[in-house]
Structures are given as C-alpha cells and as structure tokens.
C-alpha cells in the first residue's frame, strides 16, 4: 500500500513538473499608421501584373478588427537550446501573385523552410542573413518548379528573403533557438503553445512599431493552464 501511494505521489510530482500551458493574446495598434504605399512595379511587370486585378500595396501595418495588428513576431526571451531543429514540421513560404506568403514567418533554428512557387513566373530566392553562421544563398526557381529548402542554424530576427527578379518581393524570417514562437494573425491574435510552467518575458517584434533593436516586452507567468497577455504597440 505504501509502495502504491509513493508511486502515485511520484507520478503526480512528475506531472506537476511537465505541466504546460498556452500563452495567447492580442496585439493592438495605438495611433494611426501611415498609409500603405502602392507598389506600381507589380502592375508594370507584364507577368506579375496579370496576376492581380487590384492595386497591390505594402504590408507594413496589417491592421484588422479592433485595431488588431498582424505580422507581429512573438517569442519568449532568453530561452535557448530548445529548438527541435530538422525534426520540427517544415515551415512553408509560398510565392503567389509575385508576393511572399506569409510576410513574416517564425521558425526554429535548423528547421526546414520549404519555399514553393505557385506563380507561372520564375523567381530567385535570396535570403540575406546577417547573423554569423547563417549562410546567404541565391537559388533560381522556375514557374511551378520544385520546392526549395533552406534552414538557418543561428538565431536572427527579421532575416530578409528577397527576389531580385521582382525587387518588391521580400519577406522576413524570425529564427529562434526555441519552439516558443508565434506570429499574430490579421486580427492581432497569437498563441504560443505548450509553454512549461514558469515566469517568462514575452517579446513582441514588429518591423516598424517594435524593431529588432527594441522589442516591446511583457511579463507573464504560466501555471499549468492558459494565460492571456494582450499588448498595444504604437504606430511610428
């Protein structure tokens, strides 16, 4: 009986140790962002122009319902060495309408990044990392050609990927050494899943409102369940 009780207590203790919860919330934008600029080059391009019926604009401030701010990269500060690396499910970037989808993509170090070309147009994929260890490459991809794969071993926020054939095409990768990452959707909502219990500092990065050199932060504590943390960033 004593043995059984000891086993139950030990089991509960281990359960307690691995308890985890989700951190979720909404990022909103304070203030009025500058108007997005039209990208005339897309319309002027004989191939890419055909893929759009409406004017294409820049995507600096993607503001949705209730001022929710999209494309904000969210991660937990100071967590390293937890990346799942190549075993993580591949992240996907598609080239559609001569634009990268998505504009901001969060990935783990070493995680496979699959680049698709859904366009009937040739592109080149040219990541231009700045962090030591991340390799600059430039690969061609023919219309509807086979997927290309990239991966980056070092953490780097806003690692740019661009197409030199269509210079208006660029997107950013946020590479971190942990799986606790998210990017807000068009309404500013995010969820970081399976965060072990503990106290954390959440970092919010936005290309214009909270750049890599100065992210906005918030403190949060996970105690075996869901935690909500909303935050507002200011338009610059």
Partner 1 sequence: MSRWTGALFDPRRFAPSRTSSDDTPDQSMERGCQTGSDRSSAFNPWLHRFAIFTAISTLGLIIIGGLVTSHGAGMAVPDWPNTYGYNMFAFPISKWVGGVLYEHSHRLMATFVGLLTAILSLWLWVRETRGKGRWLGVGTIVMVLGLMGVRALPVYLILACLALTVGGFGLYQIRRNFAALRWWGALAFATVILQGVLGGLRVVWLKDQIGIFHAALAQLFFALTCLIALFTSRWGHERATLLVRAAIPVAKGIRAESRAPVQSVFAWLLPAATLLIFAQLILGATMRHQHAGLAIPDFPLAYGKVWPPMDSASVTHYNQQRHEIIAVNPITALQIGLQMTHRIMALLICGAVAFCAWSTRRQVGASHPLSKLTLVWFGVIVTQALLGAATIWSDKAADVATAHVMVGALSLALGAIVSIVASRTLVWARAVPAAEAQALSPFGLQPSPHTGLK
Neighbouring residues of 170: CB distance < 8 A, sequence distance ≥ 6:
100, 160, 161, 162, 163
Local structure of residue 209 (DSSP, 8 states): T
Cβ 80 to partner 1 shortest distance, Å? 25
Rule CB under 8 A: is residue 128 a binding residue for partner 1? Answer: yes
Q: How far is the CB of 179 from partner 1 (least distance, A)?
A: 28
- Per-residue x/- mask for partner 1, residues 21 to 60, rule CB under 8 A? -------------x-xx-x-x---xxxx---------x-x
Give the shortest CB-146-to-partner 1 separation in angstroms: 14
Residues 87, 226: Cα–Cα separation, whole Å: 26
Q: Site for partner 1 (CB under 8 A): how many residues?
A: 38
Q: How far is the CB of 234 from partner 1 (least distance, A)?
A: 10
User: Which position among 80, 138, 217, 228 is part of the footprint of partner 1 (CB under 8 A)?
Assistant: 138
Our finding on whether 209 is near partner 1 (CB under 8 A) is yes
CB of 15 to partner 1, least distance (A): 45
Element (H, E) at 99: strand 99-101
Stretch that binds partner 1, among 86-94, 105-113, 188-196, 203-211 (CB under 8 A): 203-211
Q: How far apart are CA 234 and CA 110, in angstroms?
A: 33
CA distances from 94 to 24, 35, 59, 125 (A): 26, 26, 16, 11
- Regarding 211 and contact with partner 1 (CB under 8 A), the answer is yes
Choices 3-11, 78-86, 156-164, 217-225 (CB under 8 A): range interacting with partner 1? 156-164
Q: Is 216 helix (H, G, I), strand (E, B) or coil?
A: strand
Q: Is 162 in the site for partner 1 (CB under 8 A)?
A: yes
With contact defined as beta carbons under 8 Å apart, do 196 and 23 qualify? Answer: no
Please say which residue, 58 or 118, places its beta carbon nearer to partner 1. Answer: 58
d(CA 67, CA 173): 24
Written in H, E and C, the secondary structure of 38-90 is: ECHHHHHCCCCHHHCCCCCECCCCCECHHHEECCCEEEECCCCCCCCHHHCCC
Quote the CA–CA distance of 15 and 10 in Å, as a whole number. Answer: 9
Nearer to partner 1, 58 or 149 (CB): 58
Query: Where do contacts with partner 1 occur on this chain (CB under 8 A)?
Result: 34, 36-37, 39, 41, 45-48, 58, 60, 121-122, 124, 126, 128, 136-140, 142, 160, 162-170, 208-209, 211, 213-214, 236
């Amino acid at each position: 009986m004593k043995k059984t009780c000891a086993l139950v207590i030990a089991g509960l203790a281990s359960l307690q140790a691995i308890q985890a919860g989700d951190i979720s919330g909404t990022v909103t934008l304070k203030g009025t962002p500058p108007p997005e600029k039209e990208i005339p080059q897309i319309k002027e391009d004989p191939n890419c122009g055909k893929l759009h019926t409406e004017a294409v604009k820049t995507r600096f401030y993607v503001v949705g319902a209730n001022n929710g701010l999209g494309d904000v990269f969210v991660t937990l500060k100071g967590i390293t060495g937890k990346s799942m690396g190549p075993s993580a499910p591949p992240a996907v970037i598609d080239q559609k309408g001569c634009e990268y989808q998505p504009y901001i993509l969060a990935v783990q170090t070493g995680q496979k990044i699959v680049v698709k070309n859904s366009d009937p147009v040739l592109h080149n994929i040219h990541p231009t990392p700045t962090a030591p260890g991340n390799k600059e490459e430039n690969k061609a991809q023919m219309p509807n050609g086979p997927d290309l794969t990239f991966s980056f071993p070092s953490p780097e926020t806003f690692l740019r990927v661009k197409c030199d054939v269509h210079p208006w095409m660029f997107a950013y990768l946020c590479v971190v050494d942990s799986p606790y990452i998210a990017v807000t959707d068009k309404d500013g909502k995010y969820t970081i899943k399976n965060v072990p219990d503990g106290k954390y500092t959440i970092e919010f990065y936005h290309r214009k409102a909270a750049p890599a050199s100065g992210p906005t932060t918030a403190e949060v504590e996970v105690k075996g369940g869901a935690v909500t943390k909303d935050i507002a960033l200011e338009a610059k």
